[in-house]
Amino acid sequence: MRSAHDADPDRSAAWTRRKFLGTVALTGVGASLAGCGVTAGDGDKGDGTGTINALFMKQAGYSEDDIKAMTAAFQKANPKIKVTPSFVAYEALHDKIVAAAPAGTYDVVLIDVIWPPEFGEKKMITDVTSKYPADWKSGMLDGALKTAVYEDKFYGVPWILDTKYFFSNTEHLQRAKVDPATLGTWDGVLAAARAVKKSGVKHPLIWSWSQAEAVICDYTQLLGAFDGKFLDDAGKPAFNTGGGVKALEFMRNTITEGLTNPASVESIEEDVRKTFSNGDASFGLNWTYMYGLSQDPKESKVVGKVAIQQTPAGPSGARPGCNGSMALSVASGSKNQDAAWKYIAFLTSPDEQAKYAKSSLPVWKDSYDDPTVTKVAPQTVPVAKQQLAELILRPQVSSYNAVSALLQAEIQNALLGKKPPQKALDDAAAAAADVLAKN
């Protein structure tokens, strides 16, 4: 950078110093200002009244309008408590909870089933075991109950349940003369897929096996069906033995046999839905949301040709669904934890949940005998009732994100044929053991 003027060194040195001093002074002011009261990490029970901020997800089971209506009802019943809900995209949810933790911005947060270990270990959400009424433990669906548990402590209350169901295209089945009753086991599904393939469908099976959390969900469901375990009783990786290996071998075999659409290794749930809704696949595993959209003529070409059922069973008859639920937790930085708990208890109560069953099914066993709930979605409710009672969790470890990432990578290796399934899982287990040992 050139200039037209000559420099006068003494003069310029003085200005330099002055500017630096100014900057340093400002730094000091800035730092101390912001430094005051920085760690808002100490939560407080509060007195059960006041304002609480709740963080929800957009387009999550319950719509924004549903939640606002529930909140209004709560405020009416509890005039001394005011609730301000916020709604953000799912991607932002985790990062927002992490960023807001030191500041204690939120009192109630909606969390995904894979976060209680992480957040619980790092003390970002509160242990609410002592607040759980005894009848909750028997009144909640078994699968739901374990959603927010970590190290035998409850860190939240399950609220929005979800799992992957098995969808089939009835038209393809009829054409291939397959009896839907045979789809109750994975062996039956394989046989059906072969028959459908002969009848003209190029790749009957579509899965979400992209290198993302999506593949872990599918893998989990298959691991459960084949009686596998993620971790043994000592907490060490065990997915490279028994059912865990059988599941991955099953996945790889469907690819080599040409039954699974090769694009599956790049697909996530939305791609499964689109392929299935386009009529290009006969079978698919997906979350509840796929059913509604598959019956929408704007979104789907297979309206009226979709059957939904429980995930197929393995040789022993086990058919757990991957737990993809969400729970409500009290943030540890909240200064109003009692009020926050009251709000959560209200939202998760059987009566409130029954009112909005159309958006999301309740977590309570008895609700499924309640006609207000059952008439909401006659096809899905009976299936849900069975499936939600039998759910399998992904590994409940605080370093879950890291473990999931390396498992995803190795599963991809096996699916792409780069490693045999046993080796891929052995490598993953070794790496996971390292990660688990460090934390």
The binding track of 102-121 with respect to other proteins, each residue x by CB under 8 A or -, is xxxx------------x---
- DSSP assignment of 181-248 equals GGGGBHHHHHHHHHHHHHTT-S--EE---STTHHHHHHHHHHHHHTT--SB-TTS-B-TTSTHHHHHH
How many residues bind other proteins (CB under 8 A)? The answer is 97
Binder among 52, 70, 81, 100 for other proteins (CB under 8 A) = 100
Secondary structure of residue 375 in the 3-state scheme: coil
Q: How far is the CB of 61 from other proteins (least distance, A)?
A: 9
Alpha-carbon radius of gyration of the chain: 26
The residue from 44, 58, 253, 317 that contacts other proteins (CB under 8 A) is: 58
The torsion angle over the Cα atoms of residues 380, 383, 384 and 388, rounded to 10 degrees, is -170
Restricting to residues 22-51, name those near other proteins by CB under 8 A. 22-23, 26-27, 30-31, 33-41
User: In the 3-class helix/strand/coil scheme, how is 249-289 assigned residue by residue?
Assistant: HHHHHHHHCCCECHHHHHCCHHHHHHHHHCCCCCEEEECCH
Q: In angstroms, what is the minimal distance from the CB of 396 to other proteins?
A: 16
State how far the alpha carbon of 207 is from the alpha carbons of 178, 193, 219, 233, 261, in Å. 21, 13, 10, 30, 8
- Which residue, 190 or 414, has its beta carbon nearer to other proteins? 414
Nearer to other proteins, 31 or 372 (CB): 31
Site for other proteins in 259-318 (CB under 8 A): 263, 265-271, 273-275, 277-278, 280, 287, 289, 293, 297-301
- For 414, residues 6+ apart whose C-beta sits below 8 A from its C-beta are 248, 251, 252, 420, 421, 424, 425
How far CA 50 is from CA of 71, 105, 128, 295, 305, in Å, comes to 14, 14, 20, 44, 51
Give the residue with the Cβ less far from other proteins, 345 or 361.
361
* 2 contributes a contact to other proteins by CB under 8 A: yes
At 363, list the tokens: 């977590």
| Nearest distance, CB of residue 327 and other proteins, angstroms | 15
**Residues 218 to 247: which contact other proteins by CB under 8 A?**
none
Q: Which is nearer to other proteins, 303 or 366 (CB)?
A: 303
Contacting residue, 68, 131, 365, 423, with other proteins by CB under 8 A: 68
- Report, in Å, the least distance between residue 372 CB and other proteins: 25
Query: Shortest Cβ distance from residue 333 to other proteins (Å)?
Result: 7
Q: In the window 316-335, what residues touch other proteins (CB under 8 A)? A: 332-333
Q: How far is the CB of 122 from other proteins (least distance, A)?
A: 4
Interaction between residue 402 and other proteins (CB under 8 A): yes
Long-range contacts of 34-37 (CB under 8 A, 24+ apart): none
Residue 10 binds other proteins, judged by CB under 8 A: no
